[in-house]
Structure 1
Amino acid sequence: MKKGMLLAYLSIAAGILLLSSCKKFLKEDIYTQYDPTAFTGTTDGFEKVLNGAYSQLQVTGNPNRNDVYCFSEFCADEMWETGGGFEAQAKDFINFTWDATNAMFAASWGKSYQAVRDANVILDNKDNAGTVPADKLKGYVAEARFIRAAAYSYLYNFFGPVPLITSAKNVNGLQAKASDDEMKQFIISELIAAAQDLPVTTALRGKATKGVALAVLCKFYLNKHMWTESAATAQQIIDLKTYRLFGDISRLFAVENESNPESIYIFPCINQTGFGNLVMAHTFPPGYPIQTNWIIFGAQFKLFTKFVDSFDAADKRLKMILTHYTNTSGTYFEMSKDATGKALNNARSFKFVPDPNGSSADMGNDIPVIRYADILMSRAEALNELNGPTAESVDLINEIRERAGVAKILLADYPSKIALRNFILEERGREFFAEGKRREDLIRMNVFISGAQARGMAAKDYHVLYPIPQTEIDADKNLVQNEGYK
């Protein structure tokens, strides 16, 4: 764990130990080390630690490119990548040849545990709040519990059960994984507790709210096949009457609409290095007429033609897919199929409307994590798994389809749970492509491995989880590698 969890935690302890040892040789006090007890004794201190926790939890820039596209899209059936220096990294995920030495795993693991560490500092010191007003302290504690639970949910989604650390004090560097039940119960109980004390709305984008905590909980329940709980939590979100579908799906992710009522949980972006949304630099095709303040990467993110063909011709979501263009030299390109009908697998997701004020690759478009459409679809799926096709589940799906401008589905056309489940998987693809949801959807519906094998990939059953980073295994004799990985 020396590059991830261990360093994240022991840096605090080391700072305090250095402080105490220096006092033996120096007369003056030293204030450059991090003393959690003193730092979190004021409103300003709590807010600074929380900001640090959010900065680790919210994945923008290169980490977002890695986690959303490599971890969650390129290993699935809608997107792939070619070209540029990124191709070698992307190929591991396209071809199911990743292993524990992949640096992306260590980076994601480390960021998540740093978020956990900072949240734990808040929770360890909540009783040393000094002059912090009670209502503010209650909010800080709720935010910290959310951040910690969300980080563990993130880790669990990719790696399965991991070491469960609930304090930043006296952390043992040799940690075993928690059991699956321990992980589930901790994440669930923390999200429930956080939701109870978080506000329904907040003035700052990206901060935790009641809806955000419930949305993460709803999706966690869904992915664990806890259908009753997922359906009920989705209904709680609906009953908040805070969220609704945004009218124009093709402009949903434009910068000017980033505070729209469909956004529940987002990672805020700004057009600065490390804090931007990089995806458009990867989806602009070569020679595309871009603004002079933008850039085109050699590493190109593409959509499979088979997926593009799954849309109805009238579907407004097709406006977010580039299938042809004329380059700056006046040459016209078809990107989905050639003149003979052969699949080119070269269409592009233009879901993120380019930021006019983008700086090079960094765009200010916020990154969606969970939006209201996902909650409607989650409830529809959970209800179908519980009861088979019902009028309510079909009506929920039709809210999404009506916004997309395509014909509503009819209950009579889906006589079985399996029939509607298959349709929901297809419709989720059309609604959430390029949002980092495809892997978990395929896993939940038990078609992730079989689908990859059908595409000719060397996928094995154990690939439903990623390996624990090798740096963590090497540093911790109590940490056992996930099954199937060496």
Structure 2
Amino acid sequence: MKRTINKNVFFLAAMLSTTFLSCEKGLEEETFSVLDANTLSLPANGEQAVRGTYAALKDNGGYGYYAGYLYWLYEYPGEVVTTRANARQGVQLDQLTYDANNSTINDVWTSIYRLVSRANESEEIIKKINYKENGSSEALQKQHLGEVRFLRALAYFDATSLWGSVPLLNKPSSEFTEADENPPLTDQADIEAAMIADLQYAEANLPESYPGSEVARATAGAAKSLLGRLYMRRLEWKKAADKLAEVMGKGYDLRTPAEGGIVSLFSRDNRSDNEFIFVLKSSNETSAYGVNSNSFGQNSTPWDFNRGWGNFPLHLSFYSIFNPEDSRRNLLTGVYNTIYGQVVAVPKEYGGIGEEADRDTTLAIFVYNLKYPHTGNYNYSGYNNVPIIRYADVLLMRAEALNELNGINQESLDLINQIRSRSGLQNYSLIDFSSKDALRDAIFEERNKEFFMEGRRRDDLIRWGLAASGGSNPLLKFKEKVVPALKNPSTYSDAVNYALFPYPQKEIQSNTSLDPSINNGRVK
């Protein structure tokens, strides 16, 4: 871990990154000449530490962490998103030819531990500040601690989702022993216990909301939602259902058809919404790319559409699963005019309007998602905030948990129907389902249509497999859905556990507690 945990580098980065939550003005950064933690004794310094911790979510913007690369690991291995042949690292992920030297796997690992490091250092700074004697309050101190502990839990949620057991570091580098410089893997269950403690502290000490100017700060609702998501992953259905119920009635709602529905939810002009429980905030400044932005705008659509790079093409088969009345289909490029004056349309066999004999229309090879609008020029900044948790997810998770607990039930259907009716679809009724299994399948297909390119599909496929197999086979649904979408189905191997990524080779080489054998069963 010596390469990923460096006190001076990350503490400096944390304290310089003070504009994450005020990025409407772009890239103004305040530089501190004195970085000795002992001199950081004011509540304002605690606020600076918190903001620096949030900044690690984008890890210098562009492609960093939640600004892009994390979604390569969460979306490429699924059956919806694919990649172009020249995407190299992405092709390995898309075609399940996992490699410990894959640079994206390494970058995400490093980003996660950078966030963990900042959270640990910030927690120590905040604890040492006497807020009350400096004109503030213990409540604000606890809020600041709640924010950094929420972010640490989020980092470990990603780490354990991707790798399972990982090193657990939850103290500042000033307390490191020699053993901490090369930490061993910690059992996933022990890490999850630490996450639960962090999230329980956060939900008890974070506010329900913030002023509009402070969108993207963690709330009690965000902590409860992430805790509910963790319980879902652990198949602890009762705990999940109860925790997710606590988020309901707390000011969150779905963006209604009268408000423009789900399409307007992802509008470039929609900087905040009650459906967004927690987001990565991005800047709308033209100079923000690479620092305070995200990569989704230019990667979501192709060059001939709006000069995008098209690194996240979606299979035509995904377009075909949508009812034409489903408004979520409008977040896909079913038909568009190119910058060269052509028309590109999804073929009729996939539910589009394109015909082979139509000389004026080019048949689409892929569809692209429109959830992250690109500016249509050479400004590569991703303007939209990136949703990490939204209310629709809370509703569908609770519907799923209740089905696992009780079988087919009216409340699960009522929750699903909120999502469906917002999208222009008919409501489900009890007679539409013959079993718990049938309703479970419908919930996961609804999630697929609702959350494409939001980083949920890989985890959903694994949880779906676990639930359908009684906890015995996490790859049951993954294999069923993903193998038919592979360019070469033989790349799938039953000897590889695709529920876990290989540990980065750079980490194995730099951490003497790790051995290459830890990747046995994670690569061919």
Structures share fold, TM-score greater than 0.5: yes
Task: Give matches, 1:219-238, under 5 Å.
Answer: 219-238=229-248
Bigger mean CA offset, 94-103 vs 392-401: 94-103
CA distance in 2, matches of 1:129, 1:33: 16
**Residue of structure 2 equivalent to 1:37:** 38
CA distance in 2, matches of 1:286, 1:128: 52
**Residue of structure 2 equivalent to 1:246:** 255
Contact 2:57 2:67 in 1 (8 A): no
**Residue of structure 2 equivalent to 1:350:** 370
Task: Give matches, 1:366-385, under 5 Å.
Answer: 366-385=385-404
Task: Give matches, 1:398-477, under 5 Å.
Answer: 398-446=417-465, 447-455=477-485, 456=489, 457-460=491-494, 461-477=496-512
Task: Give matches, 1:42-191, under 5 Å.
Answer: 42-58=42-58, 60-63=61-64, 64=66, 66-82=68-84, 87-130=87-130, 131=134, 133-168=137-172, 169-171=174-176, 172-191=180-199
Bigger mean CA offset, 159-168 vs 261-270: 159-168
**Residue of structure 2 equivalent to 1:307:** 318
**Residue of structure 1 equivalent to 2:280:** 267
C-alpha distance 343-484 of structure 1, shift in aligned 2 (>3 A): farther
Q: Which has the higher contact order (CA 8 A, sep 6+)?
A: 1
Per the TM alignment, residue 160 of structure 1 is displaced from its structure 2 partner at its CA by 1.2
Contact 2:79 2:481 in 1 (8 A): yes
Deviations 1:142-162 (A, max 9, x none): 112112111111211111121
Deviations 1:272-295 (A, max 9, x none): 11222332322333433x4xxxx4
Per the TM alignment, residue 166 of structure 1 is displaced from its structure 2 partner at its CA by 1.5
* TM-score of the superposed pair, with normalisation by structure 2: 0.82
What is the root-mean-square deviation of aligned Cα atoms in Å? Answer: 2.5
Contact 2:2 2:182 in 1 (8 A): no
Aligned counterpart in structure 1 of residue 413 of structure 2, from 385, 391, 394: 394
Q: Secondary structure at the match of 1:368?
A: strand
Contact 1:9 1:114 in 2 (8 A): no
**Residue of structure 2 equivalent to 1:329:** 340
CA distance in 1, matches of 2:411, 2:483: 35
* TM-score of the superposed pair, with normalisation by structure 1: 0.88
Bigger mean CA offset, 199-208 vs 373-382: 199-208
C-alpha distance 396-459 of structure 1, shift in aligned 2 (>3 A): farther
Deviations 1:298-345 (A, max 9, x none): x44222122111111111111111112222332222235553699954
Letter of the aligned partner of 2:367 in structure 1?
A
Q: Which runs of 5+ in 2 are unaligned?
A: 13-31, 349-353, 466-476
Per the TM alignment, residue 387 of structure 1 is displaced from its structure 2 partner at its CA by 1.0
Per the TM alignment, residue 231 of structure 1 is displaced from its structure 2 partner at its CA by 0.7
Q: Secondary structure at the match of 2:404?
A: helix
CA distance in 1, matches of 2:34, 2:175: 17
Q: Does 1:484 align with 2:521?
A: yes
Q: Secondary structure at the match of 1:146?
A: helix
Contact 2:89 2:104 in 1 (8 A): no
Task: Quote the sequence identity (%).
Answer: 28
Aligned counterpart in structure 2 of residue 218 of structure 1, from 215, 220, 228: 228
CA distance in 1, matches of 2:85, 2:346: 16
Contact 1:384 1:421 in 2 (8 A): yes
Per the TM alignment, residue 88 of structure 1 is displaced from its structure 2 partner at its CA by 1.1
Per the TM alignment, residue 451 of structure 1 is displaced from its structure 2 partner at its CA by 2.7
Contact 2:410 2:430 in 1 (8 A): yes
CA distance in 1, matches of 2:445, 2:183: 40
Q: Does 1:283 align with 2:300?
A: yes
Per the TM alignment, residue 355 of structure 1 is displaced from its structure 2 partner at its CA by 5.0
Contact 1:8 1:114 in 2 (8 A): no
Contact 2:56 2:118 in 1 (8 A): no
Per the TM alignment, residue 348 of structure 1 is displaced from its structure 2 partner at its CA by 1.3
Per the TM alignment, residue 66 of structure 1 is displaced from its structure 2 partner at its CA by 4.4
Deviations 1:206-249 (A, max 9, x none): 11110111111111111221111111111000032x10000211
CA distance in 2, matches of 1:343, 1:448: 29
CA distance in 1, matches of 2:165, 2:481: 25
Contact 1:462 1:484 in 2 (8 A): yes
